[in-house]
Amino acid sequence: DADTHHEYLDTYNKEGQVAYKAYLDAYKVYKQAKQDVDHLQENMAERARELDMLRYQIDEIEEAGLTIGEDVSIAEELKRLDSFEHIDKGLGSCY
C-alpha cells in the first residue's frame, strides 16, 4: 500500500538524517582533535629545539671556564685596546 510505503520512506529518511548529523558531529570532533594533536606536536618540536639550544649554550659557557666578574675585566680590556687602536691610528696619520 502506498501509505505504508511512504511511512517506511519517511522513517528511513529521518533515521538517515539523524545518522548523518551524528556523523557530521563526530567528524567535527575528529577534525578538532586532529588539529589539537598537530598543534601539540608542533609545540613539542619547538620545545625540543629550544632545549637543544639551551643545552648547547650551557655547554659553551661551561667550556669557557669563566669566573665571576671576568666579564667586567674583559670589558675593561676591550675598552683599553680600543683606546690603543685610536692612538695607533692617530700616530699613523702623523707620518
Boundaries of every domain in the chain = 69-95
- What pLDDT digit, counting tens, does each position of 34-61 carry? 999 999 999 999 999 999 999 999 999 8
For cell 669566573, the residue is 67
The candidate with the shortest Cα–Cα distance to 45, out of 35, 33, 37, is 37
Region 76-83: mean pLDDT is: 92
Most confident of 9-18, 37-46, 57-66, 74-83: 37-46
What is the pTM for the complete model shown? 0.48
Torsional sign, CA 57, 63, 66, 72: negative
DSSP state of 65: T
